[in-house]
């Protein structure tokens, strides 16, 4: 089982490199990331989180029954579960109209911490699948949020960077306590 790296590990702050060839190494990495994500009950994982700075993310929102997702391909709504898990190589998102929505987030690399993050509600994603075929779809709900959270990871950005100033202060105190820090 691949180890998920935690806040403080340099890979979490690195910009990941594009994948120019989907070889067996990339396929194995994707499988290992899925295993790690499921083992920790996550709904998404980026390669940076297993210490590999390559642009690969995995997502599976099926277990989050109370946080629905919408998936559209070619303008048509599709059953989300049929497209899970998603393995996305070199994913990108484009923000579509619809404004931002607040939603609770957490991260397997920052255990015990959660907070509300404002993110665009509707996005269009483009990526390659694990066979190298281009994929393009629109997402709303948890899927849109997960895509943005995971692609942020590929750019060295963590959800705690996007919290409100008040939440960031609260989280900083929590992280300090978790690290065993003591203010003298």
Shortest distance, position 60 Cβ to Ni ion, whole Å: 14
Q: Give yes or no for residue 107 binding Ni ion (CB under 5 A).
A: yes
Between 22 and 107, CB nearer to Ni ion: 107
Q: Give yes or no for residue 56 binding Ni ion (CB under 5 A).
A: no
Between 50 and 107, CB nearer to Ni ion: 107
Q: Give yes or no for residue 113 binding Ni ion (CB under 5 A).
A: no
Shortest distance, position 102 Cβ to Ni ion, whole Å: 17
With contacts defined by CB under 5 A, name the span among 19-27, 67-75, 100-108, 116-124 that binds Ni ion: 100-108
How far is 88 from 125, CA to CA, in rounded Å? Answer: 10
Q: Left if phi > 0, otherwise alpha if psi is -120 to 50, otherwise beta: which for 77?
A: beta
Shortest distance, position 48 Cβ to Ni ion, whole Å: 9
Between 8 and 132, CB nearer to Ni ion: 8
Closest to 33 (Cα-Cα) out of 117, 114, 92, 89: 89
DSSP per-residue letters across 82-127? GG-SEEEEEEEEEEPSS-EEEEEEE-TTSTT-EEEEEEESEEEEEE
| Residue 150 bears catalytic tag | yes
With contacts defined by CB under 5 A, name the span among 25-33, 59-67, 99-107, 127-135 that binds Ni ion: 99-107
How far is 179 from 103, CA to CA, in rounded Å? Answer: 26
Shortest distance, position 153 Cβ to Ni ion, whole Å: 6
Query: What 3-state class would DSSP assign to 165?
Result: helix
Between 16 and 107, CB nearer to Ni ion: 107
Buried b (16+ CB within 10 A) or exposed e, 88-109: bbbbebeeeeeeebebebebbb
Catalytic pick among 105, 138, 140, 150: 150
Question: Cβ(92)–Cβ(127) under 8 Å?
Answer: yes
With contacts defined by CB under 5 A, name the span among 102-110, 113-121, 136-144, 173-181 that binds Ni ion: 102-110
- Which residues are tagged catalytic? 150
**Residues in contact with Ni ion by the rule CB under 5 A:** 107
């Amino acid at each position: 089982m691949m180890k998920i790296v935690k806040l403080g590990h340099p890979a979490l702050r690195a910009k990941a490199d594009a994948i120019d060839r989907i070889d067996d190494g990339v396929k194995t990495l994707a499988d290992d990331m899925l295993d790690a994500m499921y083992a920790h009950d996550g709904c998404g994982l980026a390669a940076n989180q297993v210490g590999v700075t390559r642009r690969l993310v995995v997502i599976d929102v099926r277990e989050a029954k109370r946080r629905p997702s919408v998936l559209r391909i070619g303008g048509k709504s599709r059953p989300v579960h049929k497209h899970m898990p998603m393995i996305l190589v070199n994913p990108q998102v484009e923000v579509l109209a619809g404004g931002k929505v607040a939603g609770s987030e957490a991260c397997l690399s920052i255990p015990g911490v959660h907070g509300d993050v404002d993110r665009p509600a509707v996005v269009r994603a483009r990526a390659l699948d694990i066979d190298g075929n281009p994929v393009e779809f629109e997402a709303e709900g948890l899927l849109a949020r997960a895509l943005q959270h995971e692609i942020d990871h590929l750019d060295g950005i963590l959800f705690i960077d996007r919290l409100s100033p008040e939440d960031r202060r609260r989280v900083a105190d929590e992280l300090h306590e978790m690290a065993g820090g003591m203010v003298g």
